[in-house]
Copies of this chain bind each other. A is one copy, B any other.
Amino acid sequence: MSQPAVGLIGLGLMGNPMGHNLLKAGFPLTVWNRTASRANSLVAAGAKLAASPREVAASSDVLITIVSDPPALEEVLWNSGANSAFPALKKGSIYIDSSTVSPALARKIAAASAQAGIRFLDAPVTGGTWGAEKGELVFMIGGEAATLEAAKPVLNAMGKKLFHLGPNGAGQTIKLAMNSLLAVEVQAFAEALALVQRAGLPGEKLVEVMQSSMARAGILDIKAPSMLSGDFKPSFPLRLMHKDISLALDLANQIGVALPATAAARETYSYVKGSTTEDLDYAGVMRFWKK
């Protein structure tokens, strides 16, 4: 059997390496990105560049979107007039959204998909650009088990773990909880570091003791060097983490769950986001305590 035709919309830090892994796995690939030049390396590697989201959707057995936020997703799906992707999806095709958006939007897409005879998975990812490049992403998946089964060959080309978490929306719910957890872990370390440094001690001492203690955490080992040096070149940009925390707080608000520390952390991420035009990694929340 020939490989299904795959479409990919969104060629940013994550989408680009995901596309390369799809090509390496032998899938015919059609791509689209708002800034077309981002497609260059994929086109050089054999992908076809489409003229619109609609053209990608129309040519795909499996469509994948991975864009930066809910408005960007609604834009490519529905709000691009005749160029919109969703109305062009083929009956029986599979649509996988790997953007991080609200569970409510995932369920809205699921309802529209059911009506149109399209099989939809919300499947946001974790693992960062490193995981995307190695094909070792972790997919958090909401939707029907049979759809996941059918999508596995495509997902396995990009990821090492596929977690089926529940019905549509479940993938996004767990993803928002995960990213809030990461954001508050980094915030916790930033606050501890700020306390130690303002008390006149070297932050390196805190890191050294932390690494011998139960407070040790993977993300802190990764972020500590930049938080000590002040070099915040983005791996996962603060503006996107800020968006994810905000989506988590929106969800919490809708269902009536108080998240006091997450809410407090969001304010510091907001402060740093609003205080600079630089594109910082989210470890740059440390700038909140800059003298």
Chain A residues with CB under 8 Å of chain B are 103, 126-128, 138, 140, 161, 163, 165-166, 170, 173-174, 176-178, 180-182, 184-185, 187-189, 191-196, 198-199, 201, 205-206, 208-210, 212-220, 222, 248, 251-252, 255-265, 267-268, 288-289
Contacts and interface: CB of A to CB of B under 8 A. Distances in A.
A268 B260 contact: yes
Given A181-B188, A199-B173, A206-B178, A218 B216 contact: yes
Contacts of A174: 196, 201, 205-206, 209
A205 to B, nearest CB: 5
B178 A209 contact: yes
A185 B176 CA distance: 17
Query: Which of A174, A193, A208, A267 has the most chain B CB atoms inside 10 A of its CB?
Result: A174
Nearest to A139: B209
A188 B191 contact: no
- Copies per complex? 2
Contacts of A288: 258
A261 B259 contact: no
A209 B166 CA distance: 13
Contacts of A170: 201, 205
Contact of A178 (B180, B215, B222, B252): B215
A188 B184 contact: yes
A202 to B, nearest CB: 8
B261 A201 contact: no
Nearest to A220: B217
A219 B181 CA distance: 13
B256 A264 contact: no
B260 A163 contact: no
Nearest to A265: B261
A255 to B, nearest CB: 5
Contacts of A220: 217
A185 B199 CA distance: 22
A188 B173 CA distance: 16
B259 A191 contact: yes
Nearest to A217: B217
Given A215-B182, A261-B187, A262-B191, A177 B198 contact: no
Contacts of A161: 212
A180 B191 contact: yes
